[in-house]
Structure 1
Amino acid sequence: MKLAEQIRIQIKKLPEGKTFGYADLGIAKEDYQTAAKVLERLQAKDVIKKISKGIFYIPQQTVFGELKPDYNEQLRPYLFEKGKRIAYITGAYLYNQLNLTTQMAFRIKIASRGKRIFINRGAVKADAVKSYAEVTDSNYELLGFLDTFKDIRKISDSNTANSVKLLSGRIEQLSEARREEMIKYALLYPPRVRALLGAVLENQKTSSKGVKKLKKSLNPLTTIKVGLKKSDLPTINNWNIK
């Protein structure tokens, strides 16, 4: 089968509004140059549209005209590589999605372990930050929670006590296995993250070796100052949190 026909068949399988790149079409790197010409012809016929270098989408037609992919879909090509997640959104945008703040971020932050991801294309603008662990589809939400503990005092238009309460509620809904996984990643984070997570889990009567590991990882002489009172989280004294 010729490459042009292969590309057309793959594109027909994609839904309108979904972004895609060369790898999503199963194109080998040595065929990229030839594929680029095929994709240029499809753009000229308005079969596909280009968002950025190497990233395209099938335009969605509605009664109100043509729609571009939504914000999250425009970000997808930067968060995944060859179908695997390599990054996640963190910072103010994430904290807004978690209902910890009402403020919206003009620029988002994208966390990845091995890749610096910057975006400045139209409405999509992002800065790169380094994640504390390799990012996967199964752990990025846990890393997001831990990022929130790390930035707990920096979240705009937010109350630390309320933020901890909201996060506690989300963590309580996790399975025991997921909480253990979160502890594993927390050990890679700064002391305040380990202390806050430990205090939350202890308050939820979570008894595991993981919680003991968190306690053991902390310097008993270090005080974690985040602006909490015992009425906010009853176990803070056990973790030198104030």
Structure 2
Amino acid sequence: MPESIMQRVRQQVLAVEPGKLINYADLVTEPSQFGAVAAALSRLIREGLVVRYAKGQYYRPQTSRFGTLPLSEGAILCTLTTEKGVVSAYLTGAALYNQLGLTTQVPATIKVTSPKPRRTRPKRVAFVVRPAPERASDVPLLQWLEVLRDLRRIPDARPNDVLARVQRFVKALAPAERRRLVELASHQAPPRARAVLGALLELQGDKHGAASLRATINPLTTYRLGLSTAALPNAPQWHIR
């Protein structure tokens, strides 16, 4: 292996903040260097300078008086949800619901969206297929649509309580954000989520948004979500039980 490649890879690795993932693509500048870079990384692993996290991904370990620290969830998420500085995915599942204060459970595996199925996955990560966000500002809206999608399946959370949180979020949105939420729901949310969002918008006086969502659902379908009429007074009109 040319010593210059070994030195370059070592310098690149040392320049990266400990605990931050390094992609193989960050280190290979030309296809012909693939083997040399792989050999350099193998040597650095033996030296303890880097740790292999998953295929093509490495990190400089952080150490404390108790030993080497595991890779942080934040570092994992940053790598999995951004591509060349652009947001390409987002956190969902129980880890998201914990962040939002909807559940106290901390999952052993985090769930991240992916625009296509993945055959391999890093440790402690699961993927669910969703379209990539068109822009970063869509991510919070898409995540609250995930909440509506899993309304009955959020650990240690009652559907009525979850709905109250969604209602506060929707009410606080600016008009443009609310219109974007309706647009995203119309194309990406399942019918049950669209029905609940439509009912909430109707209660909040957004007739146009509610009508837009009503037009996307089957009027003969009933959605059994465990919600009370006290929590959602117009639930029967949206066939929500």
Aligned to 1:127: 126
Counterpart of 1:129 in 2: which secondary structure? strand
Report what 1:215 is aligned to.
214
Letter in structure 2 aligned against 1:222: T
Deviation at 1:236, TM superposition (A): 2.7
1:137-216 pair list within 5 angstroms: 137-188=136-187, 189-206=189-206, 209-216=208-215
Q: CA deviation at 1:201?
A: 2.3
Aligned residue identity for 2:201: L
Who is 1:115 aligned against?
Answer: 117
* Alignment partner, residue 40 of structure 2: 38
8 Å CA contact retained: 1:88, 1:110: yes
Q: 2:107 aligns with which of 88, 105, 108?
A: 105
Q: Report sequence identity in percent.
A: 33
Matched residues in 2 for 1:29 and 1:193: separation? 46
In structure 2, how many angstroms separate the alpha carbons of the residues matched to 1:49 and 1:56? 5
Superposed CA offset, 1:86-136 (max 9, x none): 333322232222222233334443321223265363xx2x333221x2245
Q: Write the distance in 1 (CA, Å) between the matches of 2:152 and 2:177.
A: 25
Q: Mean alpha-carbon deviation: is it higher for 177-186 or for 41-50?
A: 41-50
Structure 1 unpaired stretches of 5+: none
SS at match of 2:90: strand
CA distance in 2, matches of 1:182, 1:33: 47
Preserved CA contact (<8 Å) 1:118 1:127: no
Change over 3 Å in CA distance of 1:128–1:68 after alignment to 2? closer
Three-state SS of the structure 2 residue aligned to 1:157 is coil
**How far, CA to CA, are the matches of 1:82 and 1:237 in structure 2?**
47
Q: Please state which structure has a larger fraction of its residues in helix.
A: 2
Q: Structure 2: which 5+ residue stretches go unaligned?
A: none
Distance 1:194 1:3, change over 3 A: same
Question: Which one-letter code corresponds to 1:183 in the other structure?
Answer: V
Q: Distance in 2 between matches of 1:71 and 1:195?
A: 34
Q: Is the 8 A contact 2:44 2:50 kept in 1?
A: yes
Return structure 1 stretches of 4+ with deviation > 6 angstroms: none
Give CA-to-partner distance per residue, 1:186-222, whole Å, 9 cap, x none.
Answer: 1132211111111222323335x44331121123333
RMSD: 2.7
Classify 1:236/1:52 alpha carbon distance in 2 versus 1 (closer, same or farther; 3 Å): same
Aligned partner of 1:70: which letter? S
Residues of 1 paired with 2:24 and 2:122: CA distance?
21
TM-score when normalising by structure 2: 0.81
1:28-52 deviation digits (Å, cap 9, x = unpaired)? 4453322112222333333322222
Supply the distance in 2 between the matched residues of 1:25 and 1:184 (Cα, whole angstroms). 40
Farther off after superposition, 144-153 or 96-105: 96-105
For 2:57, give the aligned amino acid.
I
Conserved 8 A contact 1:111-1:129: yes
CA shift for structure 1 position 6: 4.0
Counterpart CA distance in 2 for 1:100 and 1:224 is: 22
Greater shift after overlay, 23-32 or 219-228?
A: 23-32
Mapped partners of 2:119, 2:107: distance in 1 = 17
Query: 2-side partners of 1:44 and 1:235: how far apart?
Result: 64
What's the counterpart of residue 52 of structure 1?
A: 54
